[in-house]
Chains A and B, each alone.
Chain A
């Protein structure tokens, strides 16, 4: 059957067809949908783990136990999972283990644009790189086979344009899921120094063997032409090269780690000018050059952002359509949604002029106008630990005006350990857990605090209050996120205490609410155009001439505007 599929959906289909039975992930754009699509297959056990390290470890355990397994994460998630990854390369697998890692060149929805290929090389883990949805599906199966044949975890590296592009996929029947026998093998699976020394030799030998087998395995393809130009490329960049219509010899790498350097040498000898078209780091280029092959790459294409067909055409001296520069238009940055329960919290943080250590999630948008209520955002969980760091650097008097803010899902991911550090090391930080009962930015995934599993089954919901108290936080209070007075009171009281505090600002993400609500209206006669409601930064409130007005199509009925209006001009209308 032929179907248009997102790269991520095709990966999920590949997982199904490969007979894998365990899939674990933590959500992260652009990788999230892989696991959501996997969850639709009844044959596969799939779960959200609290973070990527746990996800990979679960998958390692299940592959040791004999089930073909997959773990999924975004590029920065692989940093969290780096610890198990590096040593899983030593232990190898029993049944196949494939790890999907989605990079985000151009940072559409990420805090950096690191290149997974470099980590994979450091860990000596093979990397396959599909170029479209059809390849996504096929490479999962190829990855499983390679994983078992070469006794290694295999990474499938995706980028945003592969993950979030749709292409036509021809589906196949599923391979039978066979649970492999488990046999105790201490030398292979227990990585004490004595065993690991032996296994490190295995890793090196395995990567060398894989490199020499690449031709036989069809892990690259060569498209020949009479041109004297040669291009080495992989992934979506291959599509860009093809789209440019350039007449060239094309060396398409299906596997990018290890590289088939002998075959590349032979290819390079046949051309006069060799280009390497790859996004982000000069991963292929540096190895090719180190092998004594002349090639052009990053000096033409750069390390940052995405490569375009236009850029390739320009570099290769081809015609591109003339483009008149666009007018300088007001930008349209992402904003907190109408009705978002984070809006009230940021309005208070702005009012109190607190220094705010932020974190990763929808609430990072509090750093944008009009709130500008964030001072730092680095990585998942860092808000808590950074808040502690600020206090240790500048002392208690300063830290009374500092808070950390972290979402519920991010707190589960890696905020807990930071909070333990605060308590253990006698910190006095105040941490806000902005609990909207979901993983919002990635599109509403469950987590250990929501009471539902990935498959939608009821489960135990971690009690945030009880958890914080158990860690040893003496002051844990929960307030209604929309109640600005309560939020303000809590912040003033808790930051004044010489003890650690957690304020849970609780209200579910507005997008989760299915019931109809009453929208609000502005009575123009009473409106004095003071701008207080506009300062909330709600996309539903716009200024027209003398008065502000509420876009009823966007209004989510939270009533925050009514609570800030001093003229009583805003009131509930109908639905």
Chain B
């Protein structure tokens, strides 16, 4: 069976890099992989989605409505936005961070209330992680994506060590220690939920 993963967030949050890490990991396990990315205009702070599909043989690079096994969200409104893509028994792993879209900043729209409750009532398997607070503890708000990757690694049931190797290969040398710490915190944040 093909696994369908949607990685959703706000342009600039590192969804692209996350997707590539997950995709390369699936390939290293011998799967066929297809991924679809968003470049250009939408990247500028817009709603972005990175799609990863892996399995024995994958044709389409896109995840269809109602077909996502996992929605992996870096921002909670984006998690809610992509809910129609989730499979009946799909899983949502979401950062609880709130980033106001411009219509909300401008007072032309309201940021929806009780997003996490809405998600939980529609989806039986959820995991919410306050990645921003964890990132602040680590001392760099830019490691939010690595915390989320840690949660993903725990979700798919891999050992932390296996993912540490991937992180070492992916991030710039001077950020390895910080990113490994973020990975670990995300990993245990998932396990402790």
Is A542 interfacial (CB 8 A cutoff)? yes
Contact of B45 among A30, A32, A324, A334 (CB under 8 A): A334
A367: shortest Cβ distance to chain B, in Å? 12
**A365 located at the interface, meaning its Cβ lies under 8 Å from any Cβ of chain B in the complex:** yes
Are B47 and A332 touching (Cβ within 8 A)?
Answer: yes
Distance (whole angstroms) from the CB of B143 to the closest CB of chain A: 11
Which residues of chain B are near A365, meaning CB under 8 Å?
A: 41, 44
Smallest distance from the beta carbon of A301 to chain B beta carbons, Å?
A: 16
Bound form: Cα–Cα A382–B111 in Å:
37
Complex A-B, nearest 9 residue pairs according to Cβ-Cβ distance, in ascending order = A109-B40, A321-B66, A29-B40, A165-B61, A334-B46, A330-B109, A553-B141, A332-B101, A243-B60
Interface size on B, residues (CB 8 A): 59
- A565 within 8 Å of B by Cβ? no
* A331 CA / B103 CA spacing, docked (Å): 7
Report yes or no: B81 in contact with A326, Cβ–Cβ below 8 A: yes
Instruction: Assess the A167–B34 pair: CB atoms within 8 A.
Output: yes
Q: Is A552 an interface residue (CB 8 A)?
A: yes
Question: Is B37 a contact of A321 with CB atoms below 8 Å?
Answer: no
Expressed in whole angstroms, the Cα–Cα distance for A4 and B100 within the complex equals: 34
Contact residues, B56-74 vs A (CB, 8 A): 58-62, 64-67
Q: How far is the CB of B185 from chain A (nearest CB, A)?
A: 17
Known: A321-B65, A323-B65. A168 touches B32 (CB 8 A): yes
Q: Which residues of A contact B104 (CB under 8 A)?
A: 330, 542
List residues of chain A with CB within 8 A of the CB of B33: 4, 166-168
Q: Determine if A568 is an interface residue (Cβ-Cβ < 8 Å).
A: no
Could you say which of A168, A330, A442, A551 contacts B27, with CB atoms under 8 Å apart?
A168
Is the CB–CB distance between A310 and B61 below 8 Å? no
- Residue pair A537, B106 in contact (C-beta under 8 Å): yes
For the complex formed, measure the closest distance between the CB of A312 and the CB atoms of chain B, giving whole angstroms. Answer: 10
Distance A331 CA – B110 CA, assembled complex (angstroms): 10
Q: Report the separation of the CA atoms of residues A329 and B33 in the bound assembly, to the nearest whole angstrom.
A: 32
Q: For chain A, what secondary structure do more than half of its interface residues adopt (helix, strand, loop), or is it mixed?
A: loop
Which residues of chain A are near B42, meaning CB under 8 Å?
108-109, 334
Instruction: Select which of A30, A321, A537, A552 is within 8 A of B67 by beta carbon.
Output: A321
Q: Are A309 and B62 in contact, CB atoms less than 8 angstroms apart?
A: yes
A-B contact pairs, 6 of them (CB 8 A): A4-B20, A108-B40, A324-B84, A333-B103, A368-B102, A441-B40
B166 CB within 8 Å of chain A: no
CA distance A324 to B86 in the complex (A): 10
Among candidates B23, B44, B47, B105, residue contacting A542 with C-beta atoms closer than 8 Å: B105
Interface residues on A, range: 35 or more
Residues from chain B with a CB closer than 8 A to the CB of A539 are 45, 99, 102, 105
Report yes or no: B37 in contact with A6, Cβ–Cβ below 8 A: yes
List the A side residues contacting B78 at CB < 8 Å: 332
Q: Assuming A161-B36, A166-B34, A166-B37, is B101 touching A330 (CB within 8 A)?
A: yes
A320 and B66 in contact, given A166-B23, A368-B102 (Cβ under 8 angstroms): yes
CB distance B37 to A369 under 8 Å?
no
Q: How far is the CA of A479 from the CA of B95 in the complex (A)?
A: 42
- Judge if B139 is at the interface, Cβ distance under 8 Å: no
B110 contacts A330, C-beta separation under 8 Å = yes
Q: Is B112 an interface residue (CB 8 A)?
A: yes
Decide yes or no whether A208 CB sits under 8 A from chain B.
Answer: no
Cβ–Cβ contact B61 & A236, under 8 A:
yes
B43: shortest Cβ distance to chain A, in Å? 7
User: In this complex, what residue of A is CB-closest to B51?
Assistant: A165
Does residue B38 face the partner (Cβ distance < 8 Å to A)?
yes
Given the interface pairs A166-B35, A441-B40, the reply to whether A329 lies near B112 with Cβ below 8 Å is yes
Complex interface bits, B7-19 against A, C-beta within 8 A gives 1, otherwise 0: 0001110000000
Known A-B contacts A4-B23, A168-B33, A370-B102; the reply to A327 vs B80 at CB < 8 A is yes
A-facing residues in B73-120 (Cβ within 8 Å): 77-78, 80-81, 83-84, 87-88, 99-112, 118
Interface string of A509-548 (1 = CB under 8 A from B): 0000000000000000000000100110101011100000
